[in-house]
Chains A and B, each alone.
Chain A
Amino acid sequence: MNPNTPSKKILLVEDEDFIRELYVRQLTKEGFQVKSAVDGQSGLNMLKAEAFDLLLLDIMLPGMNGLQLLREFKTQNPNSPMITILLTNLGQEAVIKEGFELGAQAYLIKASYTPDQVVNEVKNALFGSSQQLPQERNQ
């Protein structure tokens, strides 16, 4: 565990096993408390059960998709301070805008980011940007 990283709670909702396991591994290594869900409904249930500081949310999910999950959560918890970062694939620019309207702060294109870059983005979102990864943030 990285002693410099305050122990923030992260929920990762991602249906691809390998990607989910890899992100959980890297985030845990950085000292975050990470929980994960494999689909939208179980993700939403976990959000209802406890509070998280940050949600890493895949958009394409079986059953309830990421945007539906986010809409549902924001309707029930309009004042939640939780930060949301969308995990997207190449070619999903159209849905990103909708995600931002629902209150997402940033998006990551999974294929274009190494796991370390994902961790950096999470840190930036939680603790403010000190590193130069300007192009991924919503402006």
Chain B
Amino acid sequence: MQLWMKFTMLTSLGILVPLLVSLFLVHNLFISITVGILAALILSGLIFLFLKPLKDLINSAENLGNGNFNQRVDIRSDDDFETVGKSFNLMADKVSHIFQNLEREKDIAIAENSKLNEVLSSIVDGIIALDFNKNILLSNKSAEEITGFTQAEALGQPVDKLIHLYSGDEEILSKTYCQSSFNQSAQLVGKNGRQTKVNLSTSQLNGRVQTNIFCILILHDIAKEEELEKMRLDFVSMASHELRTPLTSIIGYLSVFIDENKGKVAQTELDLLQKSLTSAQELLTLVQNLLNVNKIEREQMSVTAQAIDYLPIISKVLEDLKNQAVQKNVILNFNPPPKLPKVLADPLRISEVITNLVANAINYTNTGGKIDVSLLITPNELITTVSDTGIGIPKEAIPHLFNKFFRVTNTTQQADKGTGLGLYISKSIIEKLGGMIRVESEINKGSQFSFTLPLAERKSVGTINSGTFVGQEITAGALNF
């Protein structure tokens, strides 16, 4: 039955029943009452028939609204109510589907978020993200430990008010460190004045307005590292000191024995001991290099520049190395100018530099080769050049040559000596003395190392034409070893 027919029926009954009632009231009360009750019953039955599906729909809609997405209606009235019911069920299907999708996306978002949180909290470095107003947007567990502020205390706070970073006495603010590729160690003062030494590096994010992240701070606690580094340095220092004591005895006794037995013992026998002595001295040089590197790293390398006569120093070093050159059948040629002005240098340290350069030259020069040591005076500097006809240094190795522990890897085995510390130490010493060291080399042709030392009394620039920097040979007063 169609809805409009039901409605028409109800309406006609509503008019007919009172009409009939009023008609019979006059004649017979009993009949009138009977008819009235009957009419009321029929009417209420009809009303029930009409309203039941509507009520179902209302209840179902309420249920659906309360989140019961399985709610469906079952109206089989074969009228418009059934059609509305079907539409309702269709809508419920769609809503349920949309809701399920939303739930799934929410789960994914939660999983992503917890993944991010887990990653962030497992990072040893403190990470703090700032928004465009330089307020704290995010901070991880390590940041809590470093700064002392919990996430709840930190979030939303202006970073410059909460966390103070100092480089020396100067405070570094977010406007300074929120720049691309900022990387510097700093003293961090956090909650209740808590202090930590950190390495602060930042990255600035440009144009990502959605996330509202402007800048990310990475705080690396370096206090622990410094402690470990100190332990390492202490150990190297202690170990080298312990190695040195027995070496001193070995060298001392051997040199006394050799000196006292010249002419008494056959030279071939003495040569055996001479080789032991040379090896012990090499070992001592290694120990000394380790100690020197240790001191450079501790910033305890003492290099004191004073006005000195350079010639006796370099002559003594070359005299000491003469044996080594002779043994390898390499010519060591020294051509000092007749007169040298005083230079500013540390006598002990500069001896180490010359020893290192010349010993390297001997080491990397084949038998029959030649090493020239020359001096050149310029208005302000004295340039010492050590050139050899050795195996040379590959081009790609030259930029790394003065780095600590660097060794040229493709050198032939016969020259495979050393720790890769000598040039590093030499460069530190020369630079501390206000000079510079440089190298020129060609593979299989040879190498030239030059370093400058400031003159004790400098002439005004330009009064004397300075010579070319490298390799100028001065022939006067040649001294051949």
**A interface residues (Cβ-Cβ under 8 A, vs B):** 16, 18-19, 22, 25-26, 89-91, 93-94, 109-112, 114-116, 132, 134-136, 139
Complex Cα spacing A26 to B259, Å: 12
Nearest-neighbor residue (CB-CB) of A118 within chain B: B252
Question: How large, as a class, is the contact surface on chain B?
Answer: 20 to 34
Besides A93-B302, A110-B248, A111-B244, 6 new A-B residue pairs in contact (Cβ under 8 A), listed by A number:
A18-B249, A89-B241, A109-B348, A115-B252, A134-B309, A135-B347
Complex Cα spacing A19 to B477, Å: 41
- The answer to whether B244 and A89 have CB atoms under 8 Å apart is yes
- The answer to whether B251 and A91 have CB atoms under 8 Å apart is no
Distance in Å from the Cβ of A134 to the closest Cβ of chain B?
Answer: 6
Nearest-neighbor residue (CB-CB) of B241 within chain A: A89
Complex Cα spacing A18 to B251, Å: 11
- The answer to whether B248 and A115 have CB atoms under 8 Å apart is no
Contact of A135 among B241, B251, B348 (CB under 8 A): B348
Residues of chain B lying within 8 A (CB to CB) of residue A112: 284, 288
Q: A132 and B312 in contact (CB under 8 A), knowing A26-B256, A115-B255? A: yes
- The answer to whether B351 and A16 have CB atoms under 8 Å apart is no
Distance in Å from the Cβ of B178 to the closest Cβ of chain A?
Answer: 42
Majority SS of interface residues in chain B? helix
Residues of chain B lying within 8 A (CB to CB) of residue A93: 300, 302
Residues of chain A lying within 8 A (CB to CB) of residue B84: none
- The answer to whether B291 and A91 have CB atoms under 8 Å apart is yes
Complex Cα spacing A138 to B284, Å: 24
- The answer to whether A114 and B252 have CB atoms under 8 Å apart is yes
- The answer to whether A94 and B300 have CB atoms under 8 Å apart is yes
Q: Please list 15 pairs of residues, one from A and one from B, whose beta carbons are closer than 8 Å in the complex, sorted by A's number.
A: A18-B249, A89-B245, A90-B244, A90-B291, A91-B240, A91-B295, A93-B300, A109-B348, A111-B248, A114-B252, A115-B255, A116-B259, A134-B308, A134-B312, A135-B351
Q: A22 and B249 in contact (CB under 8 A), knowing A91-B237, A116-B256? A: yes
- The answer to whether A139 and B306 have CB atoms under 8 Å apart is yes
Contact of B284 among A111, A116, A139 (CB under 8 A): A111
Contact of A19 among B237, B248, B291, B348 (CB under 8 A): B248
Residues of chain A lying within 8 A (CB to CB) of residue B351: 135
**B interface residues (Cβ-Cβ under 8 A, vs A):** 237, 240-241, 244-245, 247-249, 251-253, 255-256, 259, 284, 287-288, 291-292, 294-295, 300, 302, 306, 308-309, 312-313, 316, 347-348, 351
Complex Cα spacing A90 to B247, Å: 12
Complex Cα spacing A114 to B253, Å: 9
- Taking each of A26, A110, A136, which has the highest tally of chain B beta carbons within 10 Å of its own beta carbon? A110
Nearest-neighbor residue (CB-CB) of B350 within chain A: A135
Complex Cα spacing A115 to B256, Å: 7
- The answer to whether B287 and A90 have CB atoms under 8 Å apart is yes
- The answer to whether A22 and B252 have CB atoms under 8 Å apart is yes
Residues of chain A lying within 8 A (CB to CB) of residue B247: 111
Contact of B313 among A22, A26, A135 (CB under 8 A): A135
Residues of chain B lying within 8 A (CB to CB) of residue A110: 248
Complex Cα spacing A116 to B308, Å: 24
Q: A94 and B256 in contact (CB under 8 A), knowing A134-B312, A134-B313? A: no
Nearest-neighbor residue (CB-CB) of A133 within chain B: B316
Residues of chain B lying within 8 A (CB to CB) of residue A25: 256
Q: A114 and B255 in contact (CB under 8 A), knowing A90-B291, A91-B291, A93-B302? A: yes
Residues of chain A lying within 8 A (CB to CB) of residue B309: 134
Complex Cα spacing A114 to B258, Å: 11
Complex Cα spacing A93 to B304, Å: 10
Distance in Å from the Cβ of A109 to the closest Cβ of chain B?
Answer: 8
Q: A18 and B253 in contact (CB under 8 A), knowing A90-B287, A134-B308? A: yes
- The answer to whether B308 and A111 have CB atoms under 8 Å apart is no
Residues of chain A lying within 8 A (CB to CB) of residue B245: 16, 19, 89
Complex Cα spacing A110 to B241, Å: 12
Q: 6 closest pairs, A vs B, by CB?
A: A135-B347, A18-B249, A93-B302, A114-B255, A111-B248, A91-B291
Complex Cα spacing A110 to B250, Å: 12
Residues of chain A lying within 8 A (CB to CB) of residue B300: 93-94
Residues of chain B lying within 8 A (CB to CB) of residue A16: 245, 248-249
- Taking each of A19, A89, A91, which has the highest tally of chain B beta carbons within 10 Å of its own beta carbon? A91
Complex Cα spacing A22 to B245, Å: 13
Complex Cα spacing A107 to B415, Å: 36
Distance in Å from the Cβ of B283 to the closest Cβ of chain A?
Answer: 10
Complex Cα spacing A90 to B241, Å: 8
Residues of chain A lying within 8 A (CB to CB) of residue B316: 132
Complex Cα spacing A132 to B244, Å: 26
Complex Cα spacing A111 to B251, Å: 8
Complex Cα spacing A59 to B256, Å: 24
Residues of chain B lying within 8 A (CB to CB) of residue A114: 251-252, 255-256
Distance in Å from the Cβ of B312 to the closest Cβ of chain A?
Answer: 5
Residues of chain B lying within 8 A (CB to CB) of residue A111: 244, 247-248, 251, 284, 287-288
